[in-house]
Structure 1
Amino acid sequence: MISVSATASTAIGQEFRITTNVYLEQDEKPSSTNLTLFSDSVIYDFVEASGGEVTVFDLNRGRIVLLNPARQIKTTLTTEFLLMYVKQLRQNASEETNNKLFNANLTEEAEVGTKRFSVSSDNLTYTVEGAAAKFPSAVKRFQYFADWFARLNATRVGNLPPQARIRINQVVADHKMIPESVTRVLKAGIRRQVVRATHNTNWLWTNTDRKRIADVSNQLAEYKEVAHDAYFSR
């Protein structure tokens, strides 16, 4: 089981939180909102909805635990499993899909003065507006979270493989920044899908944040562990 007591040893000023709102196309109302709490070695991601899923990333142990409060179950994925899963996706994909998404020729652009970065291929573009982090470790911790979240999302039906997202994460981290916004444009024939995410970063946790982490500790102890397939079944 993941230990959440690691937060107690977090250096003062090394905790931070990010609220992410995701917008589809030109919608003004977010389709989803997540709160992500970063400690020194554990990252907690909460879907901000009734019974919303909680994801716990343990940096030291290489584990990701998914908690479903509505069903009171949990499942554990190792980072090794996710790497193998993405590799298998690549092997099983059609030649067309491989060329468009897995093996796409990605082009990087960096406008350091405007803190704007992009990674693009013929079919997919990620554009990021960055901001300086308050402390250097935040850059690497956000990159770790975003990389593994992209791999985790790839396990869910209908989502994109993670390669392009991981590449833009690296570009932003190389410039010692974290994203303020991320825009993804996917082209499929004549269709063009736009998804935009905004990230609001605060460099202190609230008392409510700490209570939520205490609740997660209880959930980790109490929820029934199930296999991956059982967890993702509806």
Structure 2
Amino acid sequence: MTWRISKLGMLVAMICLNSNVLAQQPKFRVETDVYVGANKEPAQQYLTLFSQGIYYDFSYDKPELITVIDPARKQIAIFDSNRKMQLVDSMDRLTEIVERAKLEAPGTPLAVVIAASELVKVDRTTGKIVVGDATMRYEATLQASGSPEMTRQYADFANWSARVNSVRPPYLPPYTRLSLNQAIADSGQLPNTIIRTSEIGGRIDEVSCKLIPGWRLSSDDEAKIANIGVMESTFKHVTETEFFPQLQARRQTTSVEK
């Protein structure tokens, strides 16, 4: 009987501990405007909500597509509210793909990008971070963060976004951005602006973004998060090629070219 009471007490303590951890998780938001080249109007706009350790990414341009990054469950889910479907991917799988590509990179153009990703310069006076070289280069300026945990969560969100973008359009190698995110995490701040410059076939492309953080969630933000729970329980689970038909077409084209 004593053993059962002790075990029950431990279970209650664990539940209370988990509840306290969730209660201590910050709730905040980051709006991101993305610009291409010298254009003054944003090409894309995003709203990212951070709540209880989960990251919810909404596109203003494609509001039907929502990405949910859940580190505790080690999964990334993408929802399509128009087609009422969801694609759930494993963080372990994404990590394996990124690491395997790194191991297989020697002797390929990717090796140059990976080597340059280790070139990190931090100007403590101006707060400017520069990572990479002319092949792929990131420059970031910083702004104050609401707390160290907010900084950590934003960097974690940016890491997983970079990994996702490496296996799906736009197929960007993630290594330079991962190095930038680590430097941002080390700074204890949030990015204010980020500029990515890349040179492909002699053409120089520049994409920049401006981040606007907010230290609390609105009632509309909370409603968006609550709606995700409905999507998760009702939307059909599909494969990657069902969710992204263009991936199947791309793979078939690649197979024919080989």
Same fold (TM over 0.5): yes
1:7–1:40 CA contact under 8 A, matched in 2: no
2:123–2:129 CA contact under 8 A, matched in 1: yes
Task: Write out per-residue CA displacement over residues 44-92 of structure 1, whole angstroms, 9 at most, x where no aligned residue.
Answer: 0111135431011112111111101121110111110101222344466
Is residue 66 of structure 2 the alignment partner of residue 54 of structure 1?
Answer: yes
After superposition, the Cα gap between the structure-2 partners of 1:178 and 1:92, relative to the gap in structure 1 and judged at 3 Å, is same
Question: Aligned partner of 2:111: which letter?
Answer: N
Correspondence for 2:110 among 98, 101, 107: 98
After superposition, the Cα gap between the structure-2 partners of 1:122 and 1:25, relative to the gap in structure 1 and judged at 3 Å, is closer
Aligned partner of 1:142 in structure 2 is: 154
Shift of 1:122: 3.7
Task: Write out per-residue CA displacement over residues 190-222 of structure 1, whole angstroms, 9 at most, x where no aligned residue.
Answer: 311000011100001011001111111111111
Distance 2:82 2:20 in 1: 28
Give the 5 Å matches for 1:151-190.
Answer: 151-190=163-202
2:25–2:53 CA contact under 8 A, matched in 1: no
1:13–1:204 CA contact under 8 A, matched in 2: no
Aligned partner of 2:245 in structure 1 is: 233
After superposition, the Cα gap between the structure-2 partners of 1:51 and 1:108, relative to the gap in structure 1 and judged at 3 Å, is closer
- SS where residue 211 of structure 2 aligns? strand
Aligned partner of 2:250 in structure 1 is: none
2:117–2:131 CA contact under 8 A, matched in 1: no
Aligned partner of 2:6 in structure 1 is: none
Task: Write out per-residue CA displacement over residues 140-163 of structure 1, whole angstroms, 9 at most, x where no aligned residue.
Answer: 101110000000011114421100
Shift of 1:173: 1.0
Distance 1:7 1:33 in 2: 34
- SS where residue 95 of structure 1 aligns? coil
Distance 1:13 1:230 in 2: 35
Runs of 4+ with deviation above 6 angstroms: 6-9
Q: TM-score, normalised by structure 1?
A: 0.89
After superposition, the Cα gap between the structure-2 partners of 1:140 and 1:233, relative to the gap in structure 1 and judged at 3 Å, is same
Is residue 103 of structure 2 the alignment partner of residue 85 of structure 1?
Answer: no
Q: TM-score, normalised by structure 2?
A: 0.82
After superposition, the Cα gap between the structure-2 partners of 1:171 and 1:50, relative to the gap in structure 1 and judged at 3 Å, is closer
Distance 2:174 2:201 in 1: 21
Q: Which structure exhibits the higher relative contact order, with contacts defined as CA atoms closer than 8 Å and separated by 6 or more residues?
A: 1
1:106–1:121 CA contact under 8 A, matched in 2: no
Select the structure of larger CA radius of gyration: 2
2:28–2:216 CA contact under 8 A, matched in 1: yes
Correspondence for 1:203 among 191, 205, 215: 215
- The structure where helix makes up a greater share of residues is 2
Correspondence for 1:25 among 33, 37, 41: 37
Aligned partner of 2:137 in structure 1 is: 125
Aligned partner of 1:3 in structure 2 is: none
Range moving further from structure 2, 203-212 or 41-50? 41-50
| Runs of 5+ unmatched residues, structure 2 | 1-17, 247-258
1:128–1:180 CA contact under 8 A, matched in 2: yes
Number of equivalences: 229
Aligned partner of 2:57 in structure 1 is: 45
Shift of 1:93: 6.1
Shift of 1:104: 3.3
Shift of 1:168: 0.6
Distance 2:84 2:105 in 1: 34
State, as a whole percentage, how many aligned pairs show the same letter. Answer: 25
After superposition, the Cα gap between the structure-2 partners of 1:105 and 1:217, relative to the gap in structure 1 and judged at 3 Å, is closer
After superposition, the Cα gap between the structure-2 partners of 1:105 and 1:42, relative to the gap in structure 1 and judged at 3 Å, is closer
| Runs of 5+ unmatched residues, structure 1 | 1-5
Question: Aligned partner of 1:69: which letter?
Answer: S
Question: Aligned partner of 1:146: which letter?
Answer: A
- SS where residue 44 of structure 1 aligns? strand
